[in-house]
Amino acid sequence: MKKTLLITGGIGYIGSHGVVAFETAWYETVIVDNLCNSSIQTLYGMEAILGYRPKFYEGDIRNTELLTQIFESHTFDGVIHFAGLKAVGESCEQPLLYHDNNVKGSLELFKCMQRYQVKKIVFSSSATVYHPGNLIPFTEESRVGGTTNPYGTTKLILEQMLEDLALHAGFQVMNLRYFNPVGAHESGKIWENPQGIPNNLLPYILKVWGGELPQVSVFGDDYDTIDGTGVRDYIDVVDLIAGHVRAYERMDDSRWKFTSYNLGVGRGISVLEMISLVEKVVGKKIPYIITERRRGDIGEVYCSPEKARGELGWKSETSIETSLKNSWNYYVANS
Residues 6+ apart with CB under 8 A from 172: 119, 120, 121, 166, 251, 254, 256, 257, 258
* Closest-CA residue to 178 (of 232, 258, 257): 232
Is the pLDDT higher at 252 or at 160? 160
The answer to the question of residue 162 being in a domain is: yes
pLDDT category of residue 261 using cuts at 50, 70 and 90: very high
pLDDT category of residue 252 using cuts at 50, 70 and 90: confident
pLDDT category of residue 61 using cuts at 50, 70 and 90: very high
* Closest-CA residue to 263 (of 166, 174, 203, 323): 174
The answer to the question of residue 100 being in a domain is: yes
What is residue 77's three-state secondary structure? coil
Residue 73: give the domain boundaries: 3-182+235-264
Residues 6+ apart with CB under 8 A from 323: 182, 183, 184, 234, 236, 237
Active site residue 151: yes
Q: Say what the pLDDT of residue 124 is.
A: 98
Q: Compute the distance between CA of residue 231 and CA of residue 298 in angstroms, rounded to an integer.
A: 9
Q: Say what the pLDDT of residue 199 is.
A: 81
Q: Say what the pLDDT of residue 255 is.
A: 76
Least-confidence region, from 56-70, 245-259, 290-304: 245-259
pLDDT at 193 over 90: no
Q: Say what the pLDDT of residue 75 is.
A: 98
The answer to the question of residue 280 being in a domain is: no
pLDDT at 253 over 90: no
The answer to the question of residue 9 being in a domain is: yes
Q: Say what the pLDDT of residue 333 is.
A: 83
- What average pLDDT does the segment 77-105 reach? 96
Q: Compute the distance between CA of residue 266 and CA of residue 233 in angstroms, rounded to an integer.
A: 7
Q: Compute the distance between CA of residue 198 and CA of residue 242 in angstroms, rounded to an integer.
A: 24
pLDDT at 52 over 80: yes
Residues 6+ apart with CB under 8 A from 110: 161, 162, 165
CA angle 276, 239, 89 (to 5 degrees): 60
Q: What percent of the chain has pLDDT over 90?
A: 92
Q: Which of 151, 178, 223, 261 is catalytic?
A: 151
Tens-place pLDDT, residues 204-229:
999 999 999 999 999 999 999 999 99
The answer to the question of residue 245 being in a domain is: yes
The answer to the question of residue 322 being in a domain is: no
- What average pLDDT does the segment 178-206 reach? 88
Tens-place pLDDT, residues 121-155:
999 999 999 999 999 999 999 999 999 999 999 99
pLDDT category of residue 273 using cuts at 50, 70 and 90: very high
Under 8 Å between Cβ of 143 and 266: no
Q: Say what the pLDDT of residue 296 is.
A: 86
Q: Say what the pLDDT of residue 335 is.
A: 76
Tens-place pLDDT, residues 308-329:
999 999 999 999 999 999 999 9
Can you give the CATH number for the domain in which 136 is found?
3.40.50.720
* Closest-CA residue to 220 (of 114, 279, 291): 291
Q: Which amino acid is located at 334 in the chain?
A: N
Number of domains in the chain: 1
* Closest-CA residue to 56 (of 48, 64, 46): 46
Q: Say what the pLDDT of residue 84 is.
A: 96
Q: What sign does the dihedral 70-76-79-80 (CA atoms) show? A: negative
pLDDT category of residue 256 using cuts at 50, 70 and 90: confident
Under 8 Å between Cβ of 215 and 42: no
The answer to the question of residue 161 being in a domain is: yes
pLDDT at 195 over 80: no
pTM to 2 decimal places: 0.95
The answer to the question of residue 79 being in a domain is: yes
Tens-place pLDDT, residues 13-51:
999 999 999 999 999 999 999 999 899 999 999 999 999
pLDDT at 267 over 90: yes
Question: Average pLDDT of the chain?
Answer: 95
